[in-house]
Structure 1
């Protein structure tokens, strides 16, 4: 692959790292989306670097640390070429597989960063995110503890995930926040209520996760029960099941029409739409689609070179408001649940 994507700088000011305008979400390599061919996944990571996709995103919860361990050899081989992001805050219990707790206390943060550093085989994490917010823990404690990690050299930059605009401002007052990661796509736009405007105001980079609606926007799924493997968590997501899935599949017609006009795929149109949020809202946007195939990586990266017309953007505008079903069965830990 010879064409490399453009680059942008993360965060406010000129101190943030420079990355490709599209990043790589590594979650699906280890869990949630069915079985993985490890050799193909490693080849996909190589393809990402070749394409200029340099922001590599993981979390300690993915595979209970297995995702970070999987990335360690790639990190070791390319440490100076990538910007490494990982996350803490979601606690799992081996005795209760479905349990997801949220912890933001100082002791947990310090324990978590040491675990991530060990599994990733590195001395420093470039971008360390609070994966979910526990509103009972003040930002003075949680972001304050994260700031201590910066002072100690264990972390270079701080990020938050799934916070509202007022929460972002409050945290940023404790220590500068470089990036905000939340779900943002043609199907999920609740972040536009307050978080996007706050990020633009503060110069915080927005990192949309699931910019392809967990694959729904590729047009590849119509019936989760038939199209997805038994171990795929999307089989239990509201938007992928029953009448919701049927209604949502019907919403993709304008995406397909626009894709045909550009000689592109529906996935590329969905990614181009997310990328153009930068111009619409006046902020830096670096989406992190995930894939385990080199061919899909190339397809995703090529979307950064597609520009949608005003008429095409207008045709896509109503989709999010028509989507059936929530993003998760339980939305309580998302920023949407705390929006006023």
Structure 2
């Protein structure tokens, strides 16, 4: 049975490597104070997290993980995306506490505990993804209702749907999204839930309005998805293929792409958009990490959430990426610092 594990201060500190004369972020981050035990689990997802308790924290950002790969495998992908969360969290917690980044701005909430399922039955996997949707959105809803900004580390891109849904319900408004991605994730919603149709499902269910895609690869978009985009005025895209022939840098293209986009605006980063990052759809051709960092840092619009997904420390085929934690930690810290510098 799936559950949500609320981290205590002790859970957090076990991931911190203390050093004399230095202070790490993990020594200063906040935690959910209602949690009395380090192994506190809640299976009542409607009541697992209280917005009122979250409001008592001075932290602006709430960090949590959805370590699963069921959505990826339900989309015929290579499993392993459940392995990125802990390396990313540990790396992030061991960043330096200093004038640029302060742990007090962050509350580390916890992680979903989703049992491993090694089934190869696609229908069964897609049913589980729909169950994960129902488990995740109330937690996001409570965070946003408390006036906080969720930072979610996955997991597959299927989790964009419960994040958008929870945010939309909390704000009582449709959410708009910038997705840095090599793929649209606009596949047929009638297939059953998986990592390839989170955004089309959010559009169908009325939670997503303006959808902006940055870095799509033309060779990996079906004609059906191209037709879907052409027939939806709320969807616009910048192709990675076109960026290769333009002098305008990615920051300028992002600015143009978001020119008429309204708030609230969420930020999605699929790590398969970055070249040579381990994911189920890893690519040798894509953005550099620094280009994506520039998007995070330089985009003028305020974001209501950050979702980083599809990365892996180790895929089911045995491939490893020892730097995935550092990659994600850079993006998370950039996201937090952009708010600090804009105050």
TM-score, normalized by the shorter chain, greater than 0.5 = no
User: Whose helix proportion is higher, 1 or 2?
Assistant: 1
Q: TM-score when scaled to structure 2? A: 0.34
TM-score between both structures, scaled by the size of structure 1: 0.35
